[in-house]
């Protein structure tokens, strides 16, 4: 479900019309996330750390209204729920695009995620399903690379307003602190630096819980 946003009475009306004309309306940032507590919690739950921080990412996305905005036919809609289209790797080195539905209940989310991951790993090709809705984030993990910046391959002619979130290699300091880079790219017609900063702060807070 999604609701039409009243652009005419929106405080960012001018910002939206300005940035949506850009050939590249996305901007991004890479930040370092402290994942010490989150990693320990995932291990104590005997669950996948990837699934754990994917769930935390979706909690933050669904809590942040501007990350639920999507553009369709020059209109902005507010989605009730955002899911994840995550890249899932296979043993042969290839990957496929998944659709992992968000659920606030972590146990239910984990069950659904494991089912979808197994499905991707037992198929071939990039697209193993159809994607009819844009209420997703594009999500990827690059655990082999400790990046400080990241860009994405994009088709400028394809109408896209979905946030793109990626995580890199986890590092362990001598004192045991664990960190990993997080890259976030968002449509500037929908999200400003203020909202991006608020999103990162909230995500770090729930990773620390």
Higher pLDDT among residues 129 and 135, named by residue: 135
CATH number reported for the structural domain that contains residue 132 in this entry: 3.30.559.10
Beta-strand pair 75-79/178-187? unpaired
pLDDT digits (tens, 9 = 90+) for 4-13: 999 999 999 9
Task: Kindly report the pTM of this predicted structure.
Answer: 0.97
Query: Is the pLDDT confidence value at 14 over 90?
Result: yes
Please provide residue 140's backbone torsions phi and psi, each rounded to the nearest 5 degrees: -150, 150
pLDDT digits (tens, 9 = 90+) for 110-120: 999 999 999 99
H-type alpha helices, the chain:
13-19, 36-44, 49-63, 106-121, 193-207
Q: How many domains does the chain have?
A: 1
Do 98 and 116 form a contact (C-beta atoms < 8 A)?
yes
171: containing domain: 2-207
List % helix, strand, coil for the chain (3-state, nearest 5).
35, 25, 40
Average pLDDT along the chain: 97
3-class DSSP state of 66: helix
- In the DSSP assignment, the letter for residue 127 is B
pLDDT digits (tens, 9 = 90+) for 49-107: 999 999 999 999 999 999 999 999 999 999 999 999 999 999 999 999 999 999 999 99
Query: Is the pLDDT confidence value at 156 over 90?
Result: no
Task: Give the chain's length.
Answer: 209
Q: In the prediction, which pLDDT does 159 show?
A: 86
Q: In the prediction, which pLDDT does 207 show?
A: 99
- In the DSSP assignment, the letter for residue 26 is E
């Amino acid at each position: 479900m999604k609701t039409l946003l009243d652009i005419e009475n929106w405080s960012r009306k001018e910002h939206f019309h300005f940035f949506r004309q850009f050939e590249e309306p996305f901007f991004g940032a890479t930040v370092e996330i402290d994942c010490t507590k989150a990693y320990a919690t995932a291990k104590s739950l005997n669950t996948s750390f990837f699934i754990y921080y994917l769930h935390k990412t979706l909690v933050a996305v669904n809590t942040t209204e501007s990350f639920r905005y999507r553009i369709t036919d020059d209109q902005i809609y507010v989605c009730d729920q955002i899911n994840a289209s995550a890249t899932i790797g296979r043993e042969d080195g290839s990957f496929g695009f998944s659709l992992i539905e968000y659920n606030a209940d972590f146990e239910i989310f984990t069950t659904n995620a494991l089912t979808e991951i197994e499905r991707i790993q037992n198929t071939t090709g990039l697209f193993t399903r159809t994607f009819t809705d844009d209420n997703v984030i594009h999500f990827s993990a690059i655990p082999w690379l400790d990046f400080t910046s990241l860009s994405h391959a994009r088709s400028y002619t394809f109408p896209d307003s979905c946030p793109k979130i990626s995580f890199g290699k986890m590092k362990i300091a001598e004192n045991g602190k664990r960190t990993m880079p997080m890259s976030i790219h968002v449509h500037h017609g929908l999200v400003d630096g203020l909202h991006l900063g608020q999103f990162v702060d909230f995500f770090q807070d729930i990773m620390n819980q």
